[in-house]
Amino acid sequence: KNEVEQSPQNLTAQEGEFITINCSYSVGISALHWLQQHPGGGIVSLFMLSSGKKKHGRLIATINIQEKHSSLHITASHPRDSAVYICAVSPGTSGSRLTFGEGTQLTVNP
Amino acid sequence: DAGVIQSPRHEVTEMGQEVTLRCKPISGHNSLFWYRQTMMRGLELLIYFNNNVPIDDSGMPEDRFSAKMPNASFSTLKIQPSEPRDSAVYFCASSRQGADEKLFFGSGTQLSVL
């Protein structure tokens, strides 16, 4: 069992739909990252959180430390949101080594 | 700020040749990370520097790989000799302090070893 599991692996949506990507982890963490990787390959950090909820534009990230679970929500999805979304956790015992999920491939059709 | 700058963007080389990848982190960031991404293994940490000192190099595959950070604004990842299985995208990232801070990634170097 992977330490970080994402679901779904692939997601296809219609423009305007509300999207949720889930991340579950099995280790204690000090921080959780949501990353976005576009087809061109570049990686952008969307959120870094250790508790509660963060919002940036149409993106919302939540984390439940007790349940070891995080969700990334996209409201009013748009084709430009099509990308791979990667969850990564920073274990509590180390400040350097991120453990990555396998990513969720999101395709938003017009 | 220009962000994390990596060079080259693409590198094609022949097996056995030396390859050097370069990274300039964001000014003021104390931590620098080298990651490798492949289809089979996803993103993997190769090495982590803090204040120019290598802190965690347990991800470096073997002695053919070496990394240096001679100053706060420059790091290199060298592969000598290169092998086809080294073909991957290599990302450099920096943060203010460790992996508990937001990471800023470079655009990556696509390495192909023939």
DSSP code string of chain B: ----EEE-SEEEE-TT--EEEEEEPPTT--EEEEEEEETTTEEEEEEEEETTEEEE-TT--STTEEEEEEETTEEEEEESS--GGG-EEEEEEEESSGGGS--EE---EEEEE-
The tens digit of pLDDT for each residue in A16-74 reads 999 999 999 998 888 999 999 998 779 999 999 999 999 999 999 999 999 999 999 99
Residues of B in contact with A35 (CB under 8 A): 103, 105
Of A41-50, B3-12, B24-33, minimum mean pLDDT range: A41-50
**If you measure CA to CA, which chain B residue comes closest to A48?**
B102
* Smallest Cα distance from A19 to chain B, Å: 23
**CB spacing of B107 vs A90 below 8 angstroms:** no
**CB spacing of B50 vs A42 below 8 angstroms:** no
Confirm if A62 and A70 have CB atoms less than 8 A apart.
Answer: yes
Residue A1 has pLDDT above 60, yes or no: no
Q: What integer pLDDT is reported at residue A98 of this predicted model?
A: 86
Nearest to B105 among A30, A43, A97 (CB): A43
* Smallest Cα distance from A67 to chain B, Å: 20
**If you measure CA to CA, which chain B residue comes closest to A96?**
B99
Q: What integer pLDDT is reported at residue B1 of this predicted model?
A: 64
Partners of B108 in the β-ladder: none
Q: What integer pLDDT is reported at residue B2 of this predicted model?
A: 80
**CB spacing of A31 vs B50 below 8 angstroms:** no
The rounded mean pLDDT for chain B is 94
Cα-flanking dihedrals φ and ψ of residue B84, to 5°? Answer: -55, -35
Confirm if B54 and B69 have CB atoms less than 8 A apart.
Answer: yes
Q: What integer pLDDT is reported at residue B38 of this predicted model?
A: 93
Amino acid at B17: Q
* Smallest Cα distance from A41 to chain B, Å: 7
